[in-house]
Structures are given as C-alpha cells and as structure tokens.
Amino acid sequence: MQQGKQAAGGRLVATGLRKQYGGVFVLKGVDFTITRGRVTGLIGENGAGKSTLSSIIAGIRRPDGGAMTIDSVPYQPSGPSDALDQGVAIIHQEIKMIPELSVAENMFLGRMPTRRGAVARRSMHDQARAALDQLGVRVDPRRPVAGLSTAAQQEIEIARAIIRRPAFVIFDEPSASLGNQETERVLEQIELLRAQGSGVVYISHRLEEISRIADDVVCLRDGRSVAGWEAADVDRDAMIRAMVGRELAERNVGPPPHRDRTVMQVRSLGSTRFTGIDFDLREGEILGVSGLVGAGRSEIVRALAGADRFDTGQVLIGDVPVRIRSVQDAITAGIVMVPEDRKTQGLNLDRRGGENMTLPWESRLTRSGLITDRVVRDTQCRMAQELDIRGDLDAPVGLLSGGNQQKVLLAKWLVRTPKVLILDEPTRGVDVGAKDAIYTIIRSLAASGVGVVVVSSELEEVLLLAHRVLIVAGGRQTGLLDRAEATPERVMELSVPAGRVPVAQR
Amino acid sequence: MSNITGNARRTDPAGPAAPTEHPATTVTARKPDEGPRARRLLRRLGRTSGPLAGLIVLVVVMSILSPVFLTTHNLVNILVQVSYVGIMAAGATLVIILGGIDLSVSSTLGLSFMIVAVLYAQAGWPFPLAVLAGLLLGTLIGVMNGVMIAYGGIQPFIATLATMFASTGLALYVTNGTPILGFPDWFQALSRTRFIGISLQVYLMLFVFAAAAIWLRFRPAGRSLYAIGGNEEVARLSGIRVRSLQLRVYAVAGFLAAVAGLVVGARLDAAQPTAGNSTDLLNVIAAVVIGGASLAGGVGTMWGTFLGLLIIGVVNNGLTLLNVSPNLQPVVIGAVIILAVLGDGRLLRTLRHRRGRTAPAA
C-alpha cells in the first residue's frame, strides 16, 4: 500500500552472522532464512542467541560478521527505523510505551505524520484506527496508554509494527507476559499476517505455541543453528532435545503425597479486586491457582503475602488467626512470596546473590547484632548448594542467566523454611532446563511439609505441579478442583464463566 | 531446609537437575565460595579507588607547590574546616543512598542554632536546655521532610526545597536578620579544646562517620538503605519497612544538621541568620558525589564520602595557600566533581550502555 517494493515476494536470507560481546561469541556463524507467507519458529534456551539474532535482523544491533540480503539485494540496516523502511519490523518481548501519550501517538512515535509543521492528528488517528481494526483490536487510538492491560498494550505494539505493512515481522517472545487467551489472540494475528503475505519469525519458550503456529522451526544452541524442521515433522521431545542437547527426565511426575494437617486457612478473603476466596492448604500440598490474565490471581496471593491490603476475610496459620498488614507481618507468620517479576519486584539486580538472599532475613540473621560479610557469604554458599545454583554469585545478579536469577530469587525466600510458599509465575522467562530444576525444588519443598501455592498463566504448569487447582475468574473463585478432575477443558470452562466473554476474546 | 533438596536428589538420582548432565557445567561451574579473596577486596575498593587516588595526587601536588601545606598545623586545620560540612555529609550520604536528596540541611543548620541562641540569649533558657531544643528542632525538620516524602508521596527534591526556603526565612524572621552574640565561655571553649593537638569537633565528625559507617555496613536497617535505593518495590516486597526507614533517615539528617549548627556556633561564638548558606549545601552534596555515591540511589559509602570531603578540604585549602581568589574555588570544585564521576567510570558505563542499546546511526 505505502511502499511498492515490499509487495514483491521473496526471502530475507542471513548467512554466517557472527556477534560478540566483550570477547564472548553470542552468535558463531548463523544462517537463517525468513520466507514471505511462512512463519518460522525460533527456539533455544536462554542465552542461545535468539534475541541477538533477531535484534541484528531488525537493525538494533550490527553483526560483527556475515551478511544479509532481501530478495538477493544486500540488506544492511543502519538502525531500527532504517530496517522498518526496508520492510523489517520487530515486536519486543518487553513493551516499551510511554504511558502518558495516546495510543496513536505511541504507534507513530518518532515518525508522526505532519501537516505544515504540526502533527496531523486526524490522519494519525485514522491510520492508527485502521491498523487496530485490521487486528480486531477495539481500543480508542486517542486514549492514553496508561491504564491499558499488558495484553492490550501488546496488541498495540503489534499494530504499531504492522502499520507500515512490513514484509518481515519478528515476534520476540510476545507471549511471555500473556495468558492463554491473550496468546491465542496474538497467534491469530500472526496467522493474519501470514495470510497477507508477511514472513514472520516467532520466538517463544512455549513449544506448544511453536507447534501450533510455525511452518518451519529453527533451533539455536550456544550461538549456532543446531536443528531445523518443517513443523509438520517435529515433535515436542525432539525440540527439547535440540534445545538442551540432552534428554530430559520424565517430566510428568506427580506431586508427592501431602499430609493431613492444615497449614493455612483462607476464609472469604476479599478486597476491591477480588471477593470470596476460600480455601485450606495442607502441609506438603501444592495448590495451583489458575485463571485468565486480569482474573485476580496475582492480587489474591499478593494480599496473602502482605504486599497489598485485603479488606475482608481472615487468614489462619494452623488454627491461629494472623494479622497481615505488611510483608513483614506475613514473613513473621511464615508466609513468603516469590513475586511475579524478578527484575522489578524480586531482585536487586545491581547487588550480589548473597545480599539479595539475606535481605528479608537480616534482622533474624544477625550475629551479636551485626550482619557481617561472613553471614552473607555463609548464606550464599548454603543456598547455592541446596538449590544447585551455578554461576558467579559474587557478581551482580543482573549478570546471571534468567534461570539462575530465578533460582537466586527462590533461594532468597528459602533462607528460612516458610510454612507457606507462594510462587507467582515461578518459571517465567527461564529455559527448559532451569524450569525442570525449579519444578524439582518445588516438589521437594512440598515433600518436606511446606504448603505451596503456585500461580501460573501456563495451565500446563499448574496441572503438572498441583494437587488441587483453584480457579478464579473476574475476581471470584469459580472452582477448586482435585488433580483428577482438573482437565484442561474443565479448568478453561471455569476460567471463562458462562455468559461472560472475556475482554481479550471479544 | 538444608536437607530438602538433598533428599530429593538422593531419591531421584537421575533427576532432571542432576548437575553432571548439564552442558553448561564445564563452562560456569565454580564453587561459589572459592571466589578469590583478593578479587573481592579489589571489588570493594573499586568504587573508592578513584577518590583515594585523586586525594593522594592532590596531596602530592600541593605539598610540592606549597611548603606550608604538609605541616601538621595546616592538615589539622583542613580537618577543622571541613568538620561541620562532614557531619552534614554523613547524613546526606544516608539520604542519597536511600535514593533521596536533602536540600534543607544547611538551612536547618542555620535555623536550629538560631533557635538555640534566641532561647538562651533572649528567652533566658538555661543553655543546655536551649541546645536540646535546637537539636529537637533540627530533628523535627527532618521528620517533616520524611513525612512529606515517605507518607505524602512528595518528591524529595521538592519537599526539602520547601523546608529549605521555610527554615531560611524563619531564621531571618526570629531575629529580624541580626546576629546574636555571646554564649557561655565553656561552649566556645569546646571548639578550642584540643586532644592530641586536634580539636574536639574533628573527633565529633569522625565519630559520626564511624557510627554511620558501622550502621550502614553491619546493621540490618542500615544495610536495607541500599535495597531501598536500588529498588523500592523489591525492598518493600522483601519485608523492609520502607517508609519508616525513610522517615528515620531524614530525621537523622536533620538532627546531624543541628549538630553541625552547634559546631559552627561554637567556632564563631555567634548565631548568624545567614549561617548555613547554599555553598555549605553544595559542599555537602559534592562530598557525597565525589565519594562515589549515585544520586539514583543504592550506591555509596561513608568512606567514600569521607574521601570526597577531604578532597574538597584540600582543594579549598590549597587554593587559599596559593593565593587563588576564593571566588575561583567553586570552579575548581565543579571540575573535581566531573573528574570524580569520570574517574570511577560511571559516565563511561552510561555511554557504553547507551551505545549498546541503540546502534549508532551511520
């Protein structure tokens, strides 16, 4: 429509791409092809080079070696906007929007249409609306981004990328912060792009999404392309083998049996965000909490952990009612929470592993009133051993891999064994190997008698770990199912109450 | 806890997390406790090695340029001159590590001692009681700052800017702008009394620095300032009482400003309504920044601030000895600030970070 040359079909071919950071090769000669009208799934563990590869193709970084062509014409983007001019767009994992600006302004940031030197608002709004309509997103382009859900922002991000009808679009883990319904919407939009003739790269840790959407699958490991398939002939296990370079043990081990003694009772808990939450948690039990994004999952557990206030209801530890008005109260009662976002809620990225671990416990760890380096180091060594954390814990934790960061975060909350451990999205953004290690840790904690609450937007994860599943929809508890009854269909059914269509589905 | 995962591994030896199978083992496996001691020491020195080297260079250069510089008398003099700024800088370091800023310290210094003087000389209060009232007032101004910032959600810069104006004005108002002279002899003697050749105010400053350093490094509350400055939400979710600590730290900063007011008062034997001017405030912040603290919060040490303080003292003293116009001294301090920031690599890191994020447009 806008740019003639993009209408021509063809391929973006990268050959022998190399990239190093500070002497470490992240890409060691990668060949990669994107074909118009096809979706290429890109998989690999954290640190395999997926993001580096996609940022080179999108012009964000420059390769140290290798070449790229579009339809046999050399393609050397000088920056992201140049790449966009040449028909290559990227949708980032983390949404970067300016909350105060309107939806349309965000979509046209840096290249707003002008008329006699002033921003041509009407034309901008019309174009924005057209792009949003095309994706079936019902958001007023004139409203500010502030207050929109993550899912809605993700959709705007996609609209922003496709507004110029790019020939090639890269999705860098768009589903990482989305629930099942929202992810489904993204996948539908990708199908739409494919039908319109764009070549799409889809990066995700969730292999079922890859199987569902991709025409081709490419696997990176340690900066090399190690495998490629037509999606029709690859199964999940083959993908995992290629990613980790080894067989994973049988994944579907059930949770260890729990005990009969009740560790926590939650009685008709309510706040402005949820009402009528009511359940018991037994020693050694793993309770899964499932629901759509925005259903109130995180809000409920945050209230239990003292991070937010609740207005009504009661929490009992054993048989004793406890007052939870702050995180400190919850810790004292024996309830701790591993928060959802390790980078903004869980860890001080600039500080060392040990310092992060001791932080909640320092007033309990003093020796003659003091926290010495020794206390910190002892804690760090002990936890590193218990949770099998590899990597340099004397370096700022921000430098560790996602999996190790998540383990440090777990360690932080296990320095003292809690009565109740709440995990909000315990495996977000970690690779398959680390995920398995974290599952093992969760199971063994439960086996030792800790009551565990797991919140996850991945239904598969909940069903894999939990003895029972608590389902919330629209801030209400719609079900509490035993493991045997909790089929994916039944859980989904309860997550979307009859007669009410979730916002994301429209 | 210690045996939980251990058990799991024993009962499930071929478990998915069995370490030997992991391909990354050979690359990253390293016992966390074998980190070389020397490297850890270097890392700790890292942040303050810049200011330390700068101070040494300055001292060497000055002792070559001026024969008087390296005399005991002059060195002690430098310490005396910076002592009241140092007492305030100790408090400011805590505030800045917390991720805040306190612009009101120097005007708190002025107002609190002015109140001491008014209560003693005009209202006829016993002097010790007047001193207590002064300290209380300083603390109260700090508490006000803390309440506005921690509970009122007002940005530290704005809240303390307001209290700075208010206390400067009040100091002028209560005396109509005239200085108050005449205090008990023993009070004035405090600034003249020497112990091993060094006057008491220097010991007071050193005590404040040592106490603050120990609190900051070894006490749970002090250590959590770094966590709050690094990321307030992480700190809150870690069970740290963020607001009450913020309140306490601003209160301490106000209290220390009042203590600094007493030091200045004893030295001048007068309460000047103009005491605690903007130069003092800027010197306080400069000492903290030169010492390696980041105004973004989460970074800084008492030792660094102390070095920064000495650098400012040596520069001002040296320029005076060399007969450089006192009006030029702030220019040099300005240059030192930029050098310090360049020296500890913060600026370079920022630039590199920027370049890493957005590829340079050709």
For A277, the token pair is 């939450």
Q: How far is it, in rounded angstroms, from Cα A304 to Cα A380? A: 27
Q: What angle do CA A366, A368, A374 make, to 5 degrees?
A: 55
- DSSP code at position B359: P
CB of A293 closer than 8 Å to CB of A150: yes
- B residues 23-62 lying closer than 8 A (beta carbon) to A: 23-25, 28-30, 32-33, 35, 39-40, 43
The DSSP-derived string for A46-84 is TTSSHHHHHHHHTTSS--SEEEEEETTEE---SSHHHHH
Average pLDDT of chain B to the nearest whole number = 82
Whether the CB-CB separation of A350 and A343 falls below 8 Å is answered with: no
Residues of chain B neighbouring A362 (CB-CB closer than 8 A):
220, 223-224
Bridge-partner residues for A199, per DSSP?
A168
pLDDT in tens, B98-157: 999 999 999 999 999 999 999 998 888 999 999 999 999 999 999 999 999 999 999 999
Could B219 and A370 be called an inter-chain contact, meaning their C-beta atoms sit closer than 8 Å?
yes
Q: Would you place residue B44 in the very low, low, confident or very high pLDDT band (cuts 50, 70, 90)?
A: low
Beta pairing class for A24-35 and A286-290: unpaired
Indicate the domain borders of chain B.
101-315
Whole-angstrom Cα distance, residue A239 to residue A139?
37
Instruction: For residues B108 and B260, give the distance between their C-alpha atoms in angstroms, rounded to a whole number.
Output: 9
Q: How far is CA B90 from CA A161, B15, B85, B314, in A?
A: 51, 53, 9, 18
For residue A451, give the H/E element and its range. Answer: strand A451-455
A and B: number of Cβ contacts within 8 A: 160
ipTM: 0.75
Q: A449 — alpha (psi -120 to 50), left (phi > 0) or beta?
A: left
Q: Do A440 and B12 touch (CB under 8 A)?
A: yes
Q: What are phi and psi of A178, to 5 degrees?
A: -110, 155
Which letter does DSSP use for residue A296 in this model?
S
What's residue B91's pLDDT? 96
Rounded to the nearest 10°, the torsion over CA B334, B213, B278, B52 is -20
Is B17 in CB contact (< 8 Å) with chain A? yes
Alpha carbons A206 and A216: distance in angstroms, whole number: 15
Q: Which of A78, A390, A448 sits opposite B362 (nearest CB)?
A: A78
CA distance A478 to A496: 9
CATH code of the domain made up of A250-334+418-501: 3.40.50.300
Task: Determine, for residues B218 and A370 on separate chains, whether the beta-carbon distance falls below 8 Å.
Answer: yes
pLDDT at A393: 86
Instruction: For residue B238, give the nearest of A353, A360, A370 by CB distance.
Output: A360
**pLDDT one-digit tens code per residue, A216-252:** 999 988 888 888 888 777 787 788 778 776 554 445 5
Beta bridge partners, A265, equal A280, A316
Chain A residue whose CA is closest to B3: A386
Token reading at A316: 């009992």
Report B:221-240 residues touching A (Cβ under 8 A).
Answer: 221, 223-224, 226-227, 230-231, 233-240
Average pLDDT over residues A65-69: 92
A430 close to A456: Cβ distance less than 8 angstroms: no
Side-chain-facing half-sphere of A80: CA atoms under 13 Å: 16
| Helix-, strand-, coil-residue percentages of chain A, each rounded to 5 | 35, 25, 40
pLDDT of the residue at B15:
37
Output DSSP code: residue B333: H
Q: Is A422 helix (H, G, I), strand (E, B) or coil?
A: strand
Select the residue from A51, A81, A327 to test the B interface by mutation, using most B Cβ atoms within 10 A.
A327
**Tens of pLDDT along B6-42?**
443 333 333 333 333 333 333 333 444 444 566 655 5
**Helix (H, G, I), strand (E, B), or coil: what is residue A98?**
coil
Query: Which residues are within 8 A (CB) of A462 and not within 5 positions of it... i.e. 6 or more apart?
Result: A288, A289, A290, A454, A456, A469, A491
What percent of chain A has a predicted confidence (pLDDT) above 90? 36
Does B8 contact A440 at a Cβ distance shorter than 8 Å?
yes
Q: Give CA–CA dist A132/A2, Å, rounded.
A: 17
DSSP strands (E only) in chain B: 180-181, 194-195, 198-199, 270-271
Using a CB–CB cutoff of 8 Å, tell me whether B352 touches chain A: no
Question: Using CA atoms, how far apart are residues A203 and A171, in angstroms rounded to an integer?
Answer: 6
Q: Which residues contact A285 (CB under 8 A, 6 or more apart)?
A: A258, A259, A263, A446, A451, A452, A467, A468
Residue type, B45: L
Contact A426, A396 (CB under 8 A): no
Q: What is the pLDDT of residue A253?
A: 59
Ranking A135-139, A144-148, A155-159, A167-171 by mean pLDDT, the lowest is A135-139
**Burial of A306 per CB tally in 10 Å (0-12, 13-18, 19+):** buried
Question: Which chain B residues contact residue A79 at CB under 8 A?
Answer: 358-361
CATH of the domain spanning A4-244: 3.40.50.300
- Which member of A245, A327, A417 has the closest CB to residue B1? A417
| CA atoms of B219 and B217, how far apart (whole Å) | 6
pLDDT category at B179 given cuts 50, 70, 90 is confident
Structure tokens at B217: 């490094």
Q: DSSP alpha helices (H): ranges in A245-321?
A: 297-304
Percent of chain B with pLDDT over 90: 50
Alpha helices in A196-224 (DSSP H): 207-213
Rounded (10°) angle between helices B4-11 and A432-447: 110
Minimal C-alpha gap between A55 and chain B (Å): 10
The answer to whether the Cβ–Cβ distance between A348 and B227 falls below 8 Å is: yes
pLDDT exceeds 50 at position B305: yes
Partners of B270 in beta bridges: B181
Of A82, A306, A381, the CB nearest to B32: A381
By Cβ distance, the residue of A79, A246, A381 closest to B359 is A79
Q: Chain A residues with CB inside 8 Å of B32's CB?
A: 353, 380-381, 384, 389, 392-394
Separation between Cα atoms, residue A254 and residue A443, nearest integer Å: 9
Residues of chain A with pLDDT > 70, as a percent, come to: 93
Q: Under 8 Å CB-to-CB from A352, ≥6 apart: which residues?
A: A376, A380, A393, A394, A395, A396, A397
Provide the edge-to-edge strand list for the sheet that holds A312-317: A277-282, A262-270, A312-317, A320-322
Q: Tell me the three state secondary structure of residue B329.
A: helix
Residue A368 gets the label, from left (phi > 0), alpha (psi -120 to 50) or beta, of left
Q: Are A398 and A350 in contact (CB under 8 A)?
A: yes
Task: Judge whether residue A413 has pLDDT over 80.
Answer: yes
Which DSSP string do the residues of B270-321 spell out, in sequence order? EE-TT-S-HHHHHHHHHHHHHTT--TTSS---HHHHHHHHHHHHHHHHHHHH
Q: What residue ranges do the domains of chain A occupy?
A: 4-244, 250-334+418-501, 347-417
**Domains A4-244 and A250-334+418-501 are alike in CATH topology:** yes
Instruction: Using only the alpha carbons of chain A, give its radius of gyration.
Output: 24
Mean pLDDT of A94-112: 83
Q: What pLDDT score was predicted for residue A504?
A: 40
Alpha carbon separation from A253 to A436, A437, A483, B206 (Å, rounded): 11, 13, 13, 62
* Best of A444, A448, A464, A465 to mutate (most B CBs within 10 Å, chain B): A444
Contacts of residue B220 in chain A, CB cutoff 8 Å? 362-363, 365-366, 371
Contact B231 A344 (CB under 8 A): yes
Stretch (H or E) spanning A221 = strand A216-221
- Report yes or no: A283 and A418 within 8 Å, Cβ to Cβ: no
Q: Decide if B8 touches A, using CB distance below 8 A.
A: yes
Tell me the pLDDT tens digit for each residue of B230-244.
Answer: 999 999 999 999 999
Phi then psi for residue B281, to 5 deg, are: -60, -45
Mutate to test the interface with A, among B2, B4, B232, B236 (most CBs of A within 10 A): B4
CA angle B146, B151, B154 (to 5 degrees): 75
pLDDT of A450 strictly over 80? yes
**What is the tens place of the pLDDT at every residue in A453-492?**
999 887 888 888 999 999 998 889 999 999 888 887 788 7
